[in-house]
């Protein structure tokens, strides 16, 4: 078991120090090219895994939500006028969603904004390290179904990686311990692992359809 504060791993501090993240293919393709109507932030918080290595906090959205039910995401949400920027918003949202104590988190970097065209939303990923992990839990079950600390080693395992398919959509995905990670979260997570130099070769030709539990009602209506 982990006892006392643990220093951030070298791969994470090196990633936080990079000045060329915006040149990465996926970040460059999603750089804001217009003034967004909404701004959000997500917290990518890594911590020491009790079994060795590192883990990352992911949430599973409530299955009763109309938008993105059951979808796995990072803690985060809209930047409110009262927030002192994206870092403060990401920490506040993490506390509200999973009970994470912001005072115990070391913020390492705010990565370049990512623009989501369908919602005109610019999302700031906030990279952080949790030197002494505490409890995380579901604070509001109407919004969050589950909270997980997922081992990075499991995400890197090629057996847990594939390409998610829905209509014309093709994108990287992960499935670990029943969590089906796809869409924005999977693309961001995949890019972060690439930039950290951790990615292992995986079969991008392994294509899998989205399970029903992560489809919104309108998506289910498109099934033949």
What is the Cα–Cα distance from 214 to 72, expressed in whole angstroms? 8
Point out the least confidently predicted range of 57-71, 132-146, 172-186, 190-204. 57-71
pLDDT at 220: 56
Average pLDDT value for residue range 28-47 = 92
Rounded Cα gap, residues 180 and 173, in angstroms: 7
Q: Please classify residue 193 by burial: count the beta carbons closer than 10 Å to its beta carbon, then call 0-12 exposed, 13-18 middle and 19+ buried.
A: buried
> Looking at per-residue confidence, does 141 or 217 come out higher?
141
What are the φ and ψ backbone dihedral angles of 10, each rounded to 5 degrees? Answer: -55, -35
pTM of structure = 0.92
> Cβ-count burial of 72 within 10 angstroms (0-12 exposed, 13-18 middle, 19+ buried)?
buried
pLDDT one-digit tens code per residue, 49-90: 989 999 999 999 876 666 666 789 999 989 999 999 999 999
The tokens describing 99, both together, are 């009970």
Give the CA radius of gyration of the chain.
Answer: 17
Percent of the chain with pLDDT over 90: 71
Average pLDDT taken over every residue of the chain: 90
Residue 4's pLDDT band (boundaries 50, 70, 90)? Answer: confident
What structural domains and CATH numbers belong to the chain? 10-220 (3.90.79.10)
């Amino acid at each position: 078991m982990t006892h006392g504060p643990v220093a951030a791993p070298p791969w994470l501090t090196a990633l936080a120090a990079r000045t060329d993240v915006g040149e990465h293919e996926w970040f460059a393709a999603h750089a804001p090219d217009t003034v967004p109507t909404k701004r959000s932030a997500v917290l990518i918080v890594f911590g020491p895994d009790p079994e060795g290595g590192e883990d990352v906090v992911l949430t599973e959205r409530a299955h009763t939500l109309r938008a993105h039910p059951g979808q796995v995401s990072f803690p985060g949400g809209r930047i409110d006028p009262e927030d002192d920027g994206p870092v403060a918003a990401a920490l506040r949202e993490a506390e509200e969603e999973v009970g994470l104590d912001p005072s115990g988190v070391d913020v390492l970097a705010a990565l370049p904004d990512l623009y989501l065209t369908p919602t005109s939303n610019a999302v700031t990923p906030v990279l952080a390290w949790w030197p002494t992990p505490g409890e995380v839990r579901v604070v509001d079950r109407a919004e969050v179904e589950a909270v997980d600390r997922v081992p990075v080693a499991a995400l890197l395992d090629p057996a847990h990686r594939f390409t998610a398919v829905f209509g014309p959509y093709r994108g990287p995905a992960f499935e670990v311990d029943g969590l089906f990670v796809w869409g924005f979260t999977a693309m961001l997570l995949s890019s972060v692992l690439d930039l950290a130099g951790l990615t292992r070769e995986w079969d991008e030709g392994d294509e899998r359809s989205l399970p029903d539990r992560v489809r919104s009602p309108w998506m289910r209506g498109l099934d033949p």
